[in-house]
Structure 1
Amino acid sequence: MRYGVLARLPDGVIACIEQIVRDTCREAGEDDESGSMRERIRQQADEGRRSMAASGPLISPDVFRARLGLTEGCIKSLLSNGSVFAMEVDGMLYYPSMLADTTPDLKHLQSICRMLVPVPPSARFAFLS
């Protein structure tokens, strides 16, 4: 797994995977009612997001602003209209570095982001990756 597949899955998908694993464990006689399985999956997703924040696919707000040359107010406006999105990692917001890449047509990428607004950030990230 490049950055951890679980890190890019939306919570709803993780919950479905958990249910499948739980059902399979019950069928095999290995019931896990303690919630430890859910916690392990959540920890793997968190570790994957931390890895992406440390290695570059996710960048801090300061780096994001600097790359685009925008003010904090402009970034807030882009966030509120759905042109960009951020993912939470350990209580801090990080932006996908692809949204700060000036090589592709950013206006086109931002319009795609606006179409994806109802989708959770982790699913948007997976879609655009």
Structure 2
Amino acid sequence: MSTQIFVNLPVRDLPASRAFFGALGYSANLKFTNDDAACLVISDTIYVMLLVEPFFQGFTRKTLCDARTHTEVILCLSADSRSDVDALVDKALAAGGSEPMEAKDYGFMYQRSFQDLDGHLWEVVHMDEDAMPAD
């Protein structure tokens, strides 16, 4: 069995967050979705649990980070092509996200980023390993 990852993110407005990620093409696994949480299916091994802040707080004794003003993590998704990078970030922007950094083109790697409605940072990257410079 492949290892799966479930990324848990606190959100202020679950319906708005579901709509945002739905606009990016991600569906919810309704078996793990209710008024407190939504399980987004990124791939068959990657899931994002959107948890309303009070529910999320029940899983930690630490203070929640306000991702609109602080960065705790940057989530990075791979894409099959440069145009797929642009398409996903453009969808995020059209759905109400913002682009915190300009695109970066390293020749062998192209990346763009977006912030979701709660300020969580996401990078989308396409890498052409055949074009990587030799060490």
Q: TM-score range by the shorter chain?
A: under 0.3
More helix by share: 1
More strand by share: 2
| Highest RCO, 1 vs 2 (Cα 8 Å, sep ≥ 6) | 1
